[in-house]
């Protein structure tokens, strides 16, 4: 069982989904400040004059590196198809990091990289390595796991 939950279930148990190094880097990056349209970059002065009224932030786009491995082609494809079905039918879903009691509300955007591997890690296992691009439309809200 992993430290992560998607809508309350373990993505490893459900899909054989392993998150590659880099997951925490993506989840913990800060959001980008939206330009409120009230900044002036005067040609004759150094710097920029900015109005710091209500601060709003852009949605975060997260690139999550993942791998699914299995001992046979049919098992691999079953796990992969279940994952794809979840991603394309679920709108926003809860991505929980149990050890931090932290919940992210994310939605699927795309799978920009995909590679099918054989003899994964020198064994007679098959794997699919890919990146999930997910959107965090609540970049400044703190959700706890309930």
Provide the pLDDT for residue 110.
Answer: 96
HEC string of 56-105 equals: CECCEEEEEEEEEEECCHHHHHHHHHHHHHHHHHCCEEEEEEHHHCEEEE
CB-based contact 25:66 (threshold 8 Å)? no
* Cα 91 from Cα 106, distance rounded (Å): 8
- CA torsion 21-67-85-5 (nearest 10°) is -40
Provide the pLDDT for residue 121.
Answer: 60
Provide the pLDDT for residue 120.
Answer: 59
Is 4-29+58-136 in CATH node 2.40.30?
yes
pLDDT digits (tens, 9 = 90+) for 68-126: 988 888 999 999 999 999 999 998 999 999 999 999 999 999 999 988 876 656 666 78
Domain ranges, ordered by start, for the chain:
4-29+58-136
CB neighbour class for 63 (10 Å; exposed up to 12, middle 13-18, buried from 19): middle
pLDDT digits (tens, 9 = 90+) for 48-78: 877 777 788 999 999 999 999 888 889 999 9
In this prediction the pTM is: 0.84
pLDDT band at 1 (very low <50, low <70, confident <90, very high): low
């Amino acid at each position: 069982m992993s430290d992560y939950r998607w809508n309350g279930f373990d993505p490893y148990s459900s899909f054989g989904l392993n998150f590659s190094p880099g997951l925490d880097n993506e989840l913990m990056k800060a959001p980008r400040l939206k330009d409120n349209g009230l900044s002036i970059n005067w040609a004759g002065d150094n710097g920029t004059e900015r109005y710091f009224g209500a601060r709003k932030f852009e949605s975060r786009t997260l690139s999550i590196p993942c791998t699914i491995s299995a001992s046979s082609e049919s098992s691999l494809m079953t796990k992969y198809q279940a994952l794809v079905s979840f991603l394309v039918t679920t709108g926003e879903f809860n991505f929980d990091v149990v050890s931090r009691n932290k919940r992210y509300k994310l939605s699927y955007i795309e799978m920009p990289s995909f590679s099918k591997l054989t003899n994964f890690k020198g064994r007679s296992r098959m794997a699919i390595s890919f990146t999930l691009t997910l959107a965090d439309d609540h970049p400044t809200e703190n959700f706890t796991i309930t």
